[in-house]
Amino acid sequence: MKWRLIALIVGALAILAGAVLIAHASPLASLQSLFHGSLGTPVAIAGTLKETTPLLICGLAVFIALRAGLFNIGVEGQLLVGACTCGVVATKFHGITGMVLGVICGMIAGTLWALPAALIKAYRNGHEVITTIMLNNIAMLITSMLVSGPLKDKAQSDTATPYVDANTRLPWVYSNPPVQINLALVLGVLLCLGMAYWLKKTVGGYELQAVGANRTAARFAGISPQKVTMVAMSISGALGGLAGAVQVLAYEGRFYDGFSPGYGFDALGVALLAGGNALLVLPSSLLFGILSKGGTALQIDGIPKGITTVVLGLLILIAAAIRFRQVTKDA
């Protein structure tokens, strides 16, 4: 399994190189730039890890839904409502209380945001892809409206909520500036381990994956697909909300217009690349983090950031094509 992942990465980088040539730059130099920009200096590494955190948590959100056979494209929206809610709650409450409440409220907001899609899928068989995308758009609009209006911090010129107190921020577990690793990342890693354990070692996880793998056989095994759909989408939404809340408490300190550069969408790629193993979400999100941070460095070199998105899209297609080959060979 591992060599396939490496082959994919190599392939993606090859495409990157080709595009770079179009941009009249040297592929080798650009490659160096990419790696240097993401992993070359302590600052870079810290930045990469920072990018990785929301990708990791959102990736887990999409992953668990995928395991149940569901496409939660709405993580972007769940992240936004989670972040917005947390941004408000964490300014009303302080210290550890503020943190905990902020996170919990963020998760609840995320779950609530996933609920309509979950219900429509479970009981009306309405495709969750469309409903979650629609909810995304509504979330973007509503949070934008709220943060420009009633939630706006009068003291700032930015369209943002007030800053959360310093003592309500998620602490750094390792801080030796410029290298800093936040509790948020640790939380993400723990969640990943927890999810892997839950899927492999609990009856709930077993039944969820059964529904995703063979809905009919799951029914004959006494499992209720509707219940599993509701549970999976709720957890997924909660994780999306958590990602947003954590983003506020760890890195941003407030919620603002344009909060997410598309973490929720990238998360789909993260989850797809991880395949069937929850633990692989870790390296997958790291890869996306590298490409994201490195992409910024490339931009400075004159290579538009868009190239990384292209690579990621191609990665998804290639990964799926490879899996297809695999399945048809086994059959």
Name 256's bridge partners: 160
Compare residues 73 and 164 and give the one whose CB is closer to another protein: 73
Q: Which two tokens stand for residue 198?
A: 């839950």
CA nearest neighbour of 243 among 275, 270, 273, 212: 270
Smallest separation (angstroms) from another protein to the CB of 97:
31
Smallest separation (angstroms) from another protein to the CB of 13:
15
Q: Which two tokens stand for residue 214?
A: 């063979």
170: how many CB neighbours lie within 10 A of its CB? 22
Residue 13 binding another protein, by CB under 8 A: no
Smallest separation (angstroms) from another protein to the CB of 19:
6
Cβ proximity of 68 and 199 under 8 Å: no
Stretch that binds another protein, among 30-38, 187-195, 210-218, 234-242 (CB under 8 A): 210-218
DSSP structure class, residue 253: S
Out of 126, 181, 275, 283, the residue judged to bind another protein by CB under 8 A:
126
How many binding residues for another protein (CB under 8 A)?
A: 67
Q: What phi and psi, each to the nearest 5 degrees, are found at residue 259?
A: -60, -40
DSSP structure class, residue 256: B
Cβ proximity of 230 and 99 under 8 Å: no
Compare residues 17 and 223 and give the one whose CB is closer to another protein: 223
Give me the sign of the Cα torsion angle 94, 99, 104, 110: positive
Tokens 């408000």 belong to 88
Contact positions with another protein (CB under 8 A) in 149-208: 149, 200-207
Smallest separation (angstroms) from another protein to the CB of 280:
16
Compare residues 13 and 134 and give the one whose CB is closer to another protein: 134
Q: How far apart are the C-alpha atoms of 302 and 134, rounded to whole Å?
A: 35
Residue 303 binding another protein, by CB under 8 A: yes
The site for another protein (CB under 8 A) is made up of 19, 22-23, 71, 73, 116, 119-120, 124, 126-127, 129-131, 133-135, 137-138, 141-142, 144-145, 148-149, 200-207, 210, 213-214, 216-217, 219-224, 265, 268-269, 272, 303-314, 316-317, 320-321, 324, 330-331
